[in-house]
Amino acid sequence: MAYIEPAPLKDKENPFEAMMSRFHDASQLLGLEDEIYNVLKSPARQVIVSLPVTMDDGSIKVFEGYRVVHSNILGPSKGGIRYDPHVNLDEVKALAAWMTWKCAVVDIPYGGAKGGITCNPRQMSAGEIERLTRAYTGAMIDIFGPDRDIPAPDMGTGPREMAWLMDEYSKTQGMTVNAVVTGKPLVLGGSLGRTEATGRGVMVSTLTAMEKMKINPYKATCAVQGFGNVGSWAARLLAERGLIVQAISDISGAYYNEKGIDIEAAVAYSAKNKGSLEGFPGAEKINGEDLLTLPVDVLVPAATEDVIKASNAPNIKAKLIVEGANGPTSSKADNIINEKGIVVVPDILANAGGVTVSYFEWVQNRLGYKWEAERVNRRSDRIMKDAFNNVYRVANEYKVSMRIAAYMVAIDKVAKTYKYRGGF
């Protein structure tokens, strides 16, 4: 099978440095001791594995896989697995640290981790992806565990991969261990509400922020970048709450309709069209980059890292940015955005609904019980709102952005826990 290596991304900020710059600023404001600063600045564990996989044509291709455990101070480490051609160690390190801060911000008892495999799942068959997932699980058998490190889906993975991972792990234990992974299909112990959880949390964060900013959702306009699990659910739930979603986008480009896009129709179209919005009839096609600078009230970047940067930040017109993706704003763009008076609900708060419902899934697995969707949603909405209000209060108290406030809340919680556990 022909495998085309992607061209390297140019003009990208190193995501680990972007994370570290905020970590540094928040630590200074908190007056964090050097000892704990040094503990938190480097990941607890970084594992790189080579994964030989038999491809459908009989050849063997070797893939590189990663798992970075940033911290297990608050509890077992938690975080998704990304399948993407651009996956590299620095990205996984940043994403792992973001998971530590995210779990701390929403006050759930997990540390942070992230995994990834440098591969292009769009160019692989289901069988090849299954063999790759099983090889990765086998290589990480000493890392994973329901009380050690609990993976979940991220870009390029979903319930199907989590099912293979659970099965492979369970085989080595000689019993079914469904709590080893979250984001599973419902029949394997997945939780109701998990699929839409991240998008739902984005919706709750958006509405809570709009309430504080006195923006009426029924008159507000919105643009959502990315139409994967997070973007499509965020767009759908925001539209249901009355927002006019004027633009959406995916890898094929951006789609604009001043009167509002019919999101249900877009979801159905993309599902029928192999996951692509190409040719979507309900909107006019525009340049993907132009979506970010549309004159809308709310901008939801829900694709990937580093899309709002110093070069385009001056042209952003939204009053509110709600980060569905991890790390969509480069650290260099932070000041520009703040000076323009744009409110940003940062990634480690805005997209924490996913890991929150992952936590509920793990709790249900351990209880051997199943909650109704209503209970899942009610509890996750409350956690998201409480976390928002807490970060908002710290931002006002210290006169800092919500991003720095979120880091302060998170770092403070991890540092206090570390001291109680007797770290020094």
Binding mask 144-163 for ligand GLU (x = CB under 6 A): --------x-x---------
Cβ distance to ligand GLU smaller for residue 78 or 236: 78
Amino acid 217 reads P
Q: Are strands 244-250 and 253-256 parallel, antiparallel or unpaired?
A: antiparallel
413: annotated active-site residue: no
Out of 355, 391, 394, 409, the only residue in the binding site for ligand GLU (CB under 6 A) is 355
Minimum CB separation of residue 251 from ligand GLU in Å reads: 19
Question: In this complex, which beta carbon is closest to ligand GLU, that of residue 97 or of residue 408?
Answer: 97
Of 118 and 182, which CB lies nearer to ligand GLU in the complex structure?
182
CA atoms within 13 A on the CB side of 277: 29
CA separation for the pair 128, 182 (Å, rounded): 22
Q: Does 226 bind ligand GLU (CB under 6 A)?
A: no
In the chain, the N- to C-terminal Cα span, in Å, equals 53
The candidate with the shortest Cα–Cα distance to 206, out of 300, 318, 291, is 300
CB of 355 to ligand GLU, least distance (A): 4
Is 95 in contact with 306 (CB distance < 8 Å)? no
Q: What is the DSSP letter of 191?
A: P
Select 195 or 270, whichever has its Cβ closest to ligand GLU.
195
- Contact segment (CB under 6 A) with ligand GLU among 23-31, 33-41, 76-84, 398-406 equals 76-84
Q: Which span sits near ligand GLU by CB under 6 A: 69-77, 122-130, 330-338, 350-358?
A: 350-358
Q: How far apart are CA 364 and CA 147, in angstroms?
A: 14
Kindly tell me which residue out of 133, 182, 221, 377 binds ligand GLU, with binding defined by CB under 6 A.
Answer: 182
CA–CA dist 382, 354 (Å, integer): 14
Q: Does 301 sit near ligand GLU (CB under 6 A)?
A: no
On whether the CB atoms of residues 334 and 305 are closer than 8 A, the answer is no
3-class DSSP assignment, residue 350: helix
Q: Which amino acid is at 99?
A: M
Is residue 91 a contact residue for ligand GLU (CB under 6 A)?
no
- Please tell me what DSSP assigns to residue 206: H
Q: Does 116 bind ligand GLU (CB under 6 A)?
A: no
The residue range among 33-41, 239-247, 351-359, 403-411 that interacts with ligand GLU, by the rule CB under 6 A, is: 351-359
Of 320, 252, 308, the closest CA to residue 280 belongs to: 252
The yes or no reply on residue 354 touching ligand GLU (CB under 6 A) is yes
Q: Which is nearer to ligand GLU, 254 or 355 (CB)?
A: 355
Q: Which two tokens stand for residue 414?
A: 């991890």
Using CA atoms, how far apart are residues 133 and 83, in angstroms rounded to an integer? 10
Cβ-based nearer residue to ligand GLU, 80 or 226: 80
Report d(CA 375, CA 20) in Å as an integer. 36
Instruction: Please give the Cα distance from 109 to 355 (Å, whole number).
Output: 11
Tell me how far the alpha carbon of residue 17 is from its chain's centroid: 18
Q: Find the binding residues for ligand GLU in span 323-342 (CB under 6 A).
A: 326
Q: Is residue 310 within 8 Å of 330, Cβ to Cβ?
A: yes
193 vs 354 by CB, closer to ligand GLU: 354
358 is a contact residue toward ligand GLU (CB under 6 A):
yes
- Catalytic position from the list 102, 114, 184, 413: 114
Exactly one of 76, 79, 115, 231 binds ligand GLU (CB under 6 A); that residue is 79
Residues catalogued as catalytic: 114
Q: Where do contacts with ligand GLU occur on this chain (CB under 6 A)?
A: 78-80, 152, 154, 182, 326, 351, 354-355, 358
